Amino acid sequence: MRAASPVTLVLVGCGAVSRLFYQPALLELRRHGLVNILAVVDPRAEARAPLAVALGAAACTKLDEALELRPELVVIATPPALHRAQAEAAFAAGGAVLCEKPLAASATDADAMAAAAARTGRLLAAGHYKRFMPAHRALKTLIERETFGPLLDATLVEGGKFSWPAATDSFFQREQTPGGVLLDIGVHVLDLLRWWLGDPTNYTYADDALDGLEANARLDATFASGASVRLRLSRDWRTENVYVFRFARATVHSRVNASNQLEFTLDGLPMTLAAELREPLPGRPAPPTRALDTNPQAFIAQLVDVCAAIRENRAPFVPGIEGAQALRWVEACYARRTTLPIH
């Protein structure tokens, strides 16, 4: 029966994110009969071949070859400069697209991708999987429901000495990747901030790029609710890797990538509660419940959501337009950037 049949997919781009994230995630989904991995695509044989073997999929040099297999879903994990053309080709071949962040090389390209999806009636999902983390969902609820009173301010620091095993230097070349740490890890944070607080009413931005790509960035923003946010990003030096939210009656620490953990410091309580987020307990005696999604499980959750959205003919949890808007904010930051001192 079609509704229960695995979603056929191809994975485009066999770099580090595919190897470290998509490979284990897709294997798990296949184990549960949710996907059927038809092919992987990469011009470099040394990247393509091991992934094809690991996933038991055909190895294609070009996307066109893979699209002949008529996949229902094309997962794009290539350098951003390639995203738009690849997404448009996928839509033209009748496929849905889950595209890694940043959604494209520019907001204009990202808008064009979203427009192409709408025109062809195809699904476009943005790879902002951090929205699937239980801690981030909990923060959204705390902010919206004002459980601890209104959010006063937030300080977010993220990053460390760069260690992503980039296969080539394309990641550091302006022509191929039009941004540094803000585009790389910051686009996730800006997406979360928009999701939590809406578009900012006001902000300033500074970074340390000279004629290349920034390694340190600072953003100060205020939002319609009156909350102010300070963001510090680095791929130069270690940071505390934590988001701190000061509400009227409590402070909440969310450690970067600690998907199912939060630390609560409640007003009047002279201690901090370091909590694992679990499925809710009923209001009666009951055994402990199961822990909510870890970081890898949040990544898998996005793929599950996209597959379900295809089957149910609905929008994904993070539609492409959200990726375009996060990218537009990144570009707007670059447009108004001031320079940080080089120490």
Catalog residues that contact other proteins under the rule CB under 8 A.
155, 157, 161-169, 171-174, 180, 208-216, 232, 234-240, 340-343
- Measure the CA–CA gap between 105 and 254, rounded to whole angstroms: 30
- Nearest 5°: the CA angle 137, 231, 194 is 40
What residues pair up with 266 in beta bridges, in sequence order? 250
122 versus 235: smaller Cβ distance to other proteins: 235
Q: How far is the CB of 69 from other proteins (least distance, A)?
A: 32
Q: How far is the CB of 104 from other proteins (least distance, A)?
A: 21
33 versus 212: smaller Cβ distance to other proteins: 212
Token digits of residue 279: 């499925």
Q: Tell me phi and psi for residue 29, to 5 degrees.
A: -65, -40
Q: How far is the CB of 111 from other proteins (least distance, A)?
A: 27
From the CB of residue 16, how many other CB atoms can be counted at a distance below 10 Å?
A: 15
Side chain identity at residue 194, one-letter code: R
Give the single-character DSSP code of 121.
T
Token digits of residue 172: 């550091």
280 versus 341: smaller Cβ distance to other proteins: 341
Q: How far is CA 146 from CA 142, 249, 327, 338, in A?
A: 5, 10, 28, 34
Q: How far is the CB of 157 from other proteins (least distance, A)?
A: 6
54 versus 112: smaller Cβ distance to other proteins: 54
Q: Tell me phi and psi for residue 51, to 5 degrees.
A: -70, -40
87 versus 215: smaller Cβ distance to other proteins: 215
174 versus 314: smaller Cβ distance to other proteins: 174
Asked if omega into 102 is within 30° of 0 (cis), the reply is yes
Q: How far is the CB of 180 from other proteins (least distance, A)?
A: 7
Q: How far is the CB of 248 from other proteins (least distance, A)?
A: 21
